[in-house]
Structure 1
Amino acid sequence: MKDDQAATGTQRRYAIAEDVLRSNIEAGTLPPGLVLLEGPIADILQTSRAPVQRALQALEAEGLVHRFSGRGFLVGPPGADIEPNRTDIKALGLIVPRHADEALQSRSSWERIYNQVEADVAGCVVFGRYRIIEMELANHFNVSRTVVRDVLTRLRERGLVRKNQSSHWIAGPLTAQTVKDHFALRTMLEPPAIRLGARAVSPARLEALLKRLRAAEEASATGSLRESEAIQTEFIECCVLAAPNERLKDLVRNNLLPVTATDRLLRRLGLPGDPAIITELRLIAELLLRGATESAVSMMETHLEASLNRTIAQMKIVAIVPGPGVTAAYLTPVLD
């Protein structure tokens, strides 16, 4: 969801989060070396992680925070050799000015429930086709039918639900062919986007990404893939969405939503991630840093083909699972 694109007064949500964090760093409330994680900050600001992630990236570009071998960012400039301080940020009394708090909480009702509805839908579509009943969805979240239609319209824009010939809202099924279709679009969109945006990629951000990928690669050797989704998101933002074409970037983002939902669901079902993903992304980042754009584009095509094969193989395993243990009350299975 493009949570950060909803205007809040004269500022967007990520800009407000950025201002709050910057002022607390400058005031010393957030001391040098403090580990900043998206989740706890999002909880304090009562917003989603997307604007917090963008705010931290902006502060990184200013040199106020930097990445390190662990999760999150450290307060302070890079190269300062600061020891990570993992104090819970909620215990530090983050100062959120009243105007910022009011602006952050002024988001419309559909934004407040969107993430949960998206998660509910993603959690069942691999098991078949489900109908979403507007009235039941409205009652479930205690919102109006207008709010429900806003949510469903945005889910449809992202290809997660559709209307059938009877004008019923339908989610799923997520099939092997659906996944192949999305990966076919990825192959058409993402390698050319890398080629188009190669010169616009920030070298500092690329180096930080590469450092993070190498650390994740080392961690994966011990069986840890905790940061895989976050790193893949950062790779897309840094290397693919550097292309100076907003329409292309929107197409990439929207096509990735069901792909990410599929991967998240497979992890939720207990299927392991593949360490090869991190290695492939690391190779692409290294090639871009060396200026070997065409080799990076070719490696991206190889990565997408391998990712498709991995996903299809895991979906075959899921095919023998009887179905989700629990679905939201507003999701009704459609029997063929």
Structure 2
Amino acid sequence: MTESLTGQNTRRRYEIAEDVLRRNISGGLLPKGLVLLEGPIAEILQISRAPVQRALQALESDGLVHRFKGRGYLVGPPGTGIEPDRTDIKSLGLIIPEHADEALQSRSSWERIYNTVESDVAGCVVFGQYRIIEIELANHFRVSRTIVRDILTRLRERGLVRKNQSSHWIAGPLTAQTVKDHFVLRRMLEPQALVSGANDIDRDALSGLLDRLVTLERRDVRDYLDDLEDIQARFIATCILATPNEKLQDLIRNNLLPVTATERLLRRLGLPGDPMLITELRLVVELLMRGAPAAAAAMLESHLDAAVNRTIAQMKIVAIIPGPGETAAYLTRVQE
């Protein structure tokens, strides 16, 4: 049931988002050169970034938008020398047909709740083990227990929660060993995906990614801490998820969820970033630009080996922190 709910509805949201953006571009409301970012569009449509990303990719394939050296897409065809216009899209009054708005909201309520629950869970599991009680979760969001079970099932599929012997829903603890396990899978999956999709990588996107990494590498790490999650996501989307193997794409995405959540939490706690991360990714991208996917995959393996060591070292620091000051009401700390 969860797969049907998430899979079909995500595709429909992507189609609706694409249609809304296409109409606003053709109608001139979104002018040529306007920078389109996934986050603000997702906020306007009240959906997640994933369907917005797919919608922008579809518009790019039709030549209505194109990538550039900065973040996001520019409205207009590539190769025309359009200058970026960074006007806030929220100020333009995006026209959303009533039927599209109703369709988006009826399909997005489940996803908005899911994203919140995922964030709540990911923010506490590094501190220990927590129990999630279905009825309390349902009451917290004022939704049915059917929706709650769908959400929890999806979280279990992504490795963020599990059921114990008493059939209680348990989140965490996220330990050094579980992090190592996820990185073992990353090392098995991601280099293989990089090699298998090397010929399908968007060269313009790859070039833009390289320029962005070079720019960040020249800056002090304290100046780009907020960019780390975005640049890593862009690297994964451009270099790893270019593989035509959709099953492999799904495995990689799901395995990355707890890893990304851990790194996000560590940054939220103020732990310093390592500038070597940017250098390592830049080396991978440079090798891809030179047409050396095997060497790029080997460099990616070295990057993942270094990344797991960095993450474990930071988790040792977190181990001496007492825990989050406040958690969601439906999360109850379990004594281990």
TM-score (norm 1): 0.92
Q: Relative to structure 2, which stretch is displaced further, 174-183 or 106-115?
A: 106-115
Moved over 6 A (4+): 1-4
The CA deviation at 1:232 is 1.2
- The separation in 2 between residues aligned to 1:3 and 1:273, in whole angstroms, is 39
The CA deviation at 1:45 is 0.9
- The separation in 1 between residues aligned to 2:121 and 2:184, in whole angstroms, is 23
Which 5+ residue runs of structure 1 have no aligned equivalent? none
Q: Specify the alignment match of 1:118 in structure 2.
A: 118
Within the alignment, does 1:31 sit opposite 2:22 as a pair?
Answer: no
- The separation in 1 between residues aligned to 2:4 and 2:123, in whole angstroms, is 21
Distance 1:192 1:98, change over 3 A: same
- The separation in 2 between residues aligned to 1:262 and 1:101, in whole angstroms, is 34
Q: Specify the alignment match of 1:49 in structure 2.
A: 49
Q: Specify the alignment match of 1:102 in structure 2.
A: 102
Distance 1:233 1:113, change over 3 A: same
The CA deviation at 1:244 is 2.3
Match of 1:326, as an amino acid?
Answer: E
The CA deviation at 1:225 is 3.0
* CA-to-aligned-CA distance 1:256-291 (integer Å, 9 cap, x gap): 110011011111111132222222112111211211
Identity of aligned residues (%): 72
Mapping of residues 116-265 of structure 1, within 5 Å: 116-220=116-220, 223-265=223-265
Could you say what secondary structure the match of 1:130 adopts?
strand
The CA deviation at 1:33 is 2.3
Q: Specify the alignment match of 1:7 in structure 2.
A: 8
The CA deviation at 1:81 is 3.7
The CA deviation at 1:19 is 2.0
- Tell me, yes or no, if the aligned pair for 1:5 and 1:13 is still in contact at 8 Å: no
- Tell me, yes or no, if the aligned pair for 2:46 and 2:108 is still in contact at 8 Å: no
Distance 1:65 1:261, change over 3 A: same
Distance 1:14 1:280, change over 3 A: same
The CA deviation at 1:5 is 5.3
Distance 1:246 1:73, change over 3 A: closer
- Tell me, yes or no, if the aligned pair for 2:69 and 2:209 is still in contact at 8 Å: no
The CA deviation at 1:139 is 0.9
- The separation in 1 between residues aligned to 2:66 and 2:90, in whole angstroms, is 20
Aligned length: 335
- Tell me, yes or no, if the aligned pair for 2:13 and 2:107 is still in contact at 8 Å: no
- The separation in 2 between residues aligned to 1:3 and 1:72, in whole angstroms, is 30
- Tell me, yes or no, if the aligned pair for 1:134 and 1:145 is still in contact at 8 Å: yes
Distance 1:79 1:214, change over 3 A: farther
* CA-to-aligned-CA distance 1:75-133 (integer Å, 9 cap, x gap): 23344443332222122121112232222122165323000000000010000000111
- The separation in 2 between residues aligned to 1:3 and 1:97, in whole angstroms, is 26
- The separation in 1 between residues aligned to 2:205 and 2:5, in whole angstroms, is 21
